[in-house]
Structure 1
Amino acid sequence: MARRRGLAGHRVARGYSQEEFATAIGVATSTVVRWESGRSAPRPYQRPKMARLLGLSRADLDKLLSSVNTATVTSGNTPMSASSGDPGEMRRRDLLGLLTTTSALLALPESPVAASPGRISAAAPQAEEALADHLWRVYGLADDKHTLYPVIRRHLGSLTEDMERARGHTGHKRVGTRVADLYQLAGELFFDARDNALSAHCYALAASAAKEARAYDLWACALTRHAYVELYAGRAPSAASLLSAAARVARRGDSALSTRHWVSAVQAEVHAAVGDFDACARALDAAEEVRALSGPVHNGGWLRFDGSRLAEERGACYVALGRPDLAEDVLTSALARELGPRRRAAVLVDLAALGAQRGDVDQVIHYAEEALAVAGQTRSGYVSAKLDGLRPRLAGLSADVRVPDLHRRIAALPSSA
């Protein structure tokens, strides 16, 4: 599909979600979606305000609006246009090469030579941390996560150069922490694109780097994200092993942070996947203890768990356990809250699954339709995967003519963004 990726990228870089951008201009969110997808263009009277919001000149905005399907992916210093091949596959090959290089550099022993005078300023670590936090915030705001790849790739490339120059224990540890942080973000990007293999590579490298840096909370979070890959691929025992390791590592981390509680929340999902109600309940109770923490319990980047998603996660567990009697109130109350598109879609799919368990086709169709709309808006592989997991639950409902049509529409979603 033709898309104005440059337009979406500038919006995200300025910190606007599609909804916020639409409100600022005075149009419907669906209008912004059509602009960014290339299906329509803003009227002349709307363009001056758009340009101001995006920090662009009118001429630059006009170029963005006339440039459709021109997303580029950087490999080294060579830009590759979408027309030269499948952009997703080019991104994949590019990052695999970078992963190999970074892994090799990470394995090198520390150099005893001190850094050159003036090479690293005292403010550098704080500036790097602020940059990483900014990238995580922008990722959270982005409706279409894939528009961020060029930005993340550029910073990963700079990080590789810094690894080659790092000297001494302090420099080695500092760069290892950055590797663990940024590669978790890259893993999130490819997990959303349903590229499980590449996201697992990113999380494994992040865990290895955090281990080298003795950054225990960062290490535990990388293991937990890797466990999500295993869980969504249907490998619950492998996920359980990773989470057991994450729990041990988290106990060595900062007790004021929510890391160990996030591990418990994901462990609950694994227990639910294998049908262990009691173990799931214990893990959920352990996750709920996050509410007893005081102060900043997460950093908004690689650690974002604060308990606000526990209602959604508890409801999802009850659906997986086949307990609609427990799931419905939890999920409907979660849906009544203000949620981002991906979180809302996940709850919608769980409510559709709940309808399937009860044989209520109207409920299935109602919630699945809403989730499909979100999948179309965000192109999120995570949402597509949730919907795909609904299809086996529809087996006993195919007598209703709406169900085969729903099957087809879910199957038509991109298997990898």
Structure 2
Amino acid sequence: MTLRRKRFAERRAAQGYSQEDFAEALMVAVSTVVRWEGGRATPRPHQRPRIAHLLGIPLFELEGLLFDVQPVEAAAHFDVPDFRHRDDDDMKRREVLGLLAVTGTLVTLPGLDDSPWQRTDAGLAANKEEVHRGLWQVFTLSDSKQTVFPAVRRQLHALTTSLAGARTEGDRARLCAMTADVYQLAGELFFDANRYTDAAQCYTLAAHAAHAGGAHDLWACAMTRHAYVELYAHRASAAHPLLAAAHRLARRGDSALSTRHWVAAVQAEAYAAVGDIKACTRALDEAEKVHDLDSLPGNGGWLRFDGSRLFEERGACYLQLGRPDLAENALAAALAQPLSLRRRAAVLTNLAVVGVHRRDVEQVMHYAEMAIDLAGQSKSGFVGKKLDGLRERLAPVMADDRISGLDQRIAALSRTA
């Protein structure tokens, strides 16, 4: 047992908790608490605010009992490529993760009388929510998503101050919903950089904040984004229960919003991943009902599903199911629509995969080269990952020298974001 973990155990005992009581309060096994205190394991980020509450200490003090280095730095280090301008962007990312921890604590522990922040009027004007929608619009339109990071940091700073000074339950609920909104945007930034663990942490915190704010649609969207991380990491078995929960939440949300239809669209991808074409088709048909809504179903922010992505999503599902004939028609229809750089690159890459199925080298080269050009413009980890997926499928046409050269070009792409 390290000295830090010994102090952790002593603090737990000083608060009157046995290991069994502590484990029960946290809904974990007693063996998990034993491993925490022995230094053989570390509580997950979403567990730490609750642990700090039970120990009666601020979150930053808990981190001091768990880590020999700054925890956000440790949490930010994964065996994946780094951002451009490494030192500067590492610092930005660590700051965002730190702010997530602070706001997560304030969401978990409302009404702290000894808050170190100056109490402020938490009544937020409507233009604050407009700022959030504006951030999502900038994210959507930006070729390089990481340009949004500074604005997200500023919003998290503002929410930290406002949450610490919330005076009424109404203010607090609204602030929690706004926090869930920004958490989801932060998750999208990490996802674009292929930092899936950071992204999943953001979505978990977003779900918790949305629950605290009584915002079922926001909550469902956070769960759906978390599920998509699992799908993209080829873990459909982990995505299914998240999507089932999101489906139940969406049914309790606002029927005028498109939340339930977006959940269905992602469920279709999960069914495609396990080869269930009937369930996939049913889910896609459910998603298509978004067009029956009377008004614009998205809100320009955390919920942007308006049915415009269904062609590309249907194409991706059919490709996953081994039906390139059906996939090509849907993907061609998607390519005829206005698309963001990232979405266009994904569609082009999928059309190149269709070419591999057909052993059509010309088609593979045509679409893959356009996708590579877009990857160079965006430096997006998401686009790079899509092209890596194409590389994994090139074996049937690798005998052609052009494909061999294409494989090398994709391998040489920068994976920074």
Question: Aligning the two structures, in what range does the TM-score lie when normalised by the shorter sequence?
Answer: 0.7 to 0.9
2:379–2:416 Cα contact (<8 Å) kept:
no
Q: Deviations over 1:373-404 (max 9, x none)?
A: 11111112211111111111112221111222
Structure 1: distance between partners of 2:213 and 2:246: 16
Structure 2: distance between partners of 1:96 and 1:119: 25
CA change 1:203–1:85 in 2 (3 A) is same
Q: Relative to structure 2, which stretch is displaced further, 147-156 or 180-189?
A: 147-156
AA aligned to 1:178 is M
- Secondary structure of 2:178's aligned partner: helix
Structure 2: distance between partners of 1:399 and 1:104: 56
Partner of residue 121, structure 2: 119
Deviation at 1:109, TM superposition (A): 3.5
Partner of residue 102, structure 2: 101
CA change 1:209–1:199 in 2 (3 A) is same
Q: Deviations over 1:112-153 (max 9, x none)?
A: 99xx998245xx241221111111111112111111211211
CA change 1:308–1:264 in 2 (3 A) is same
Q: Deviations over 1:78-129 (max 9, x none)?
A: xxxx99953343233222222222222221044699xx998245xx241221
Partner of residue 205, structure 1: 205
Q: Deviations over 1:30-57 (max 9, x none)?
A: xxxxxxxxxxxxxxxxxxxxxxxxxxxx
- Secondary structure of 1:86's aligned partner: helix
1:110–1:169 Cα contact (<8 Å) kept:
no
CA change 1:391–1:161 in 2 (3 A) is same
CA change 1:84–1:366 in 2 (3 A) is closer
In structure 2, stretches of 5+ residues that fail to align are 1-72, 74-82
Aligned length: 333
1:110–1:172 Cα contact (<8 Å) kept:
no
Q: After the TM superposition, list the runs of 4 or more consecutive aligned residues in structure 1 that deviate by more than 3 angstroms.
A: 82-85, 109-113
1:231–1:239 Cα contact (<8 Å) kept:
yes
Aligned pairs (5 A) from 1:286-365: 286-365=286-365
Structure 1: distance between partners of 2:164 and 2:401: 61
Structure 2: distance between partners of 1:119 and 1:392: 55
Partner of residue 69, structure 2: none
Partner of residue 164, structure 1: 164
Partner of residue 399, structure 1: 399
Structure 1: distance between partners of 2:84 and 2:196: 25
Please tell me whether residue 148 in structure 1 is matched to residue 148 in structure 2: yes
Q: Deviations over 1:183-204 (max 9, x none)?
A: 1111111111111111111111
AA aligned to 1:130 is E
1:218–1:302 Cα contact (<8 Å) kept:
yes
Q: Deviations over 1:269-295 (max 9, x none)?
A: 111111111111010011011111111
Please tell me whether residue 90 in structure 1 is matched to residue 84 in structure 2: no
Structure 2: distance between partners of 1:374 and 1:416: 14
Q: Deviations over 1:246-265 (max 9, x none)?
A: 00000000011100000000
Percent identity of paired positions between Structure 1 and Structure 2: 56
CA change 1:117–1:414 in 2 (3 A) is closer
1:180–1:218 Cα contact (<8 Å) kept:
yes
Partner of residue 16, structure 2: none
AA aligned to 1:202 is C
- Secondary structure of 1:366's aligned partner: helix
TM-score of the aligned structures, taking structure 2 as reference length:
0.76
CA change 1:157–1:278 in 2 (3 A) is same
Structure 1: distance between partners of 2:194 and 2:85: 22
1:216–1:253 Cα contact (<8 Å) kept:
yes
Partner of residue 78, structure 1: none
Please tell me whether residue 254 in structure 1 is matched to residue 254 in structure 2: yes
Aligned pairs (5 A) from 1:365-380: 365-380=365-380
2:111–2:164 Cα contact (<8 Å) kept:
no
2:183–2:206 Cα contact (<8 Å) kept:
yes
- Secondary structure of 1:368's aligned partner: helix
1:112–1:168 Cα contact (<8 Å) kept:
no
CA change 1:118–1:236 in 2 (3 A) is closer
CA change 1:117–1:216 in 2 (3 A) is same
Please tell me whether residue 186 in structure 1 is matched to residue 199 in structure 2: no
- Secondary structure of 1:393's aligned partner: coil
TM-score of the aligned structures, taking structure 1 as reference length:
0.76
- Secondary structure of 1:306's aligned partner: coil
AA aligned to 1:333 is A
Q: Relative to structure 2, which stretch is displaced further, 252-261 or 322-331?
A: 322-331
2:208–2:219 Cα contact (<8 Å) kept:
yes
CA change 1:118–1:185 in 2 (3 A) is closer
Root-mean-square deviation over aligned CA pairs? 2.2
AA aligned to 1:147 is T
AA aligned to 1:280 is C
Partner of residue 30, structure 1: none
CA change 1:129–1:261 in 2 (3 A) is same
Partner of residue 3, structure 1: none
In structure 1, stretches of 5+ residues that fail to align are 1-74, 76-81
CA change 1:357–1:84 in 2 (3 A) is closer
Q: Deviations over 1:320-377 (max 9, x none)?
A: 1110121111211221222221111111011001011111111111100000111111
AA aligned to 2:342 is R
